[in-house]
Amino acid sequence: MSWKKGLWLGLISSILASIACYIYSYLYTIAFYVDFSKVINLTSIISSCIIACLLMAVGYVVLIKWNGQRLIGWVNTVYSILSFASIVGVLSFNLPLDIESPEMFPGLAIPMHCFPVLSFLTIYPFFINRK
């Protein structure tokens, strides 16, 4: 995989992950009448999705240039484990005292940690070099 393809993979998957996170955040806010916009806003959603997806894309490009397609399954497993391990940060996060219903925050933030990996692994097959 070339660096150009890897960059496009990261950007497209980050756009899809950002859209999914924003829609989930909007629906969660409406369904449960909570407002965590001081903590999770559109800028933080988009920036975290872009960073995560671009890092995954760089990892793929480096791995494919180094060892070909043989370790992709293991890298996918590592990405999934890291995605679920990042949930620990959400559970230990201290919210500001003026936010109502802080017990609802993990229900909003935890699923969002899976969206970048899901979008990346969904989009990746469209970028495979077929010979």
pLDDT in tens, 72-109: 889 999 999 999 999 998 888 887 778 788 888 889 89
Instruction: Assign 131 a pLDDT band (cuts: 50, 70, 90).
Output: low
Cα Dmax for the chain: 58
Q: What are the residue ranges spanned by the domains of the chain?
A: 3-127
47-57: average pLDDT: 95
Output the DSSP codes for 50-117: HHHHHHHHHHHHHHHHHHTTTTHHHHHHHHHHHHHHTHHHHHTPPPPTT-S-GGGHHHHHHHHTTHHH
Predicted TM-score (pTM) of this structure? 0.88
- The answer for residues whose C-beta is within 8 angstroms of residue 108's C-beta and 6 or more apart is 24, 25, 28, 29, 34, 36, 40
The predicted pLDDT at position 68 comes to 78
The predicted pLDDT at position 121 comes to 94
Query: How far apart, in whole angstroms, are the C-alpha atoms of residue 108 and residue 84?
Result: 15
Is the pLDDT at 31 greater than 90, yes or no?
yes
3-state secondary structure of 33: coil
Going by C-alpha positions, the residue among 58, 64, 78, 79 that lies closest to residue 10 is 58
The predicted pLDDT at position 90 comes to 84
Query: How far apart, in whole angstroms, are the C-alpha atoms of residue 92 and residue 43?
Result: 22
Instruction: Assign 38 a pLDDT band (cuts: 50, 70, 90).
Output: confident
